[in-house]
A = this chain, B = another copy of it.
């Protein structure tokens, strides 16, 4: 592989001049031309490892996500990637599997590799995160709020829970259950809390047996839904607080032909195949969240040193039966 000294030799200049040309610093026109010619001729491109070592940071950002197979997060990743691409950054996608230990590993790697920044959808508390923040590394938190003093892009989960629940109430259901995620997941807890409050405000019952904490995946939604339908006094409608739980719920309803049971879903269903004319859908726009987070990160990288910002994504109105595109 050609190195900077080769280019310098061929162009008849010093390595410093080559470096300056490559980094857009002022250089006499004829020398610059000679350098560019040499670069082309050798097919030279700078060794990014050496550059990172010297600059103390790479052109790579870490995107640390709890579940890379969830379309919510891949959409978010797509948004991050598009902004990164524009800004000349590459993205390392890391899958924590909701495991705080894996998360720490990846954050450690991000630091050891001198990555330029981190976008993190946190799974549990992270001591390392606090350290990164303290050292002024560029960090943006997405989806799940943390107490730390960092840039964050989140949803208004209470509002999401309220709107989705209210939509089911408005549609005339009176015994509305809720399937949400694990108690460790703050978004799951907040949405469920909103479900309870909204029902109670409407004078409807919100008994404990109508609230199921499942995992936030398809199988969780399926088993929770099955369980609910088998209650002695089953619900006439169900709120699924994330996309995959919603898929699981839809599957059970399709399999048992219980089209009479109302359904509300917080989240997008990119690959849904059944008709959902009858489902209250609350879209989240994860791609926008990724775009926003990445733009905030890029600003920080560019040197913005303002106080930590907390951006709350606007809550969309509930729609009936328009699945995510």
Contact = CB atoms under 8 A, between A and B. Distances in A.
Contacts of A75: 69
B58 A68 contact: no
A270 B50 CA distance: 42
Given A49-B52, A255-B275, A271-B271, A90 B74 contact: no
A251 B271 CA distance: 9
A81 B53 contact: no
A114 interface: yes
Given A92-B90, A250-B273, A58 B49 contact: yes
A312 interface: no
Contacts of A114: 47-49
Interface string A238-251: 00000010010011
Interface string A81-110: 100010000111111000000100010110
A113 interface: yes
A5 to B, nearest CB: 15
A60 interface: yes
**Tally of this chain's copies:** 2
A155 B52 CA distance: 39
B271 A274 contact: no
A272 interface: yes
Contact of A77 (B68, B112, B247): B68
Contact of A274 (B45, B49, B91, B273): B273
A113 B271 contact: no
A66 to B, nearest CB: 13
A235 interface: no
A34 to B, nearest CB: 23
Nearest to A252: B273
A109 B218 CA distance: 36
A78 B271 CA distance: 19
A205 interface: no
A254 interface: yes
A78 B69 contact: yes
A271 B254 contact: no
A54 to B, nearest CB: 9
A269 interface: yes
A46 interface: yes
Contacts of A274: 254, 273-274
Given A49-B58, A108-B45, A112-B46, A95 B68 contact: no
Contact of A45 (B47, B69, B71, B112): B112
A324 to B, nearest CB: 10
Contact of A90 (B1, B94, B254): B94
Interface in A282-305: none
B71 A271 contact: yes
Given A69-B71, A255-B275, A269-B273, 8 more contacts: A45-B108, A50-B53, A81-B95, A85-B102, A90-B92, A90-B94, A91-B92, A269-B271
10 contacts: A47-B114, A48-B109, A48-B114, A49-B112, A68-B78, A69-B78, A71-B271, A91-B92, A247-B271, A254-B275
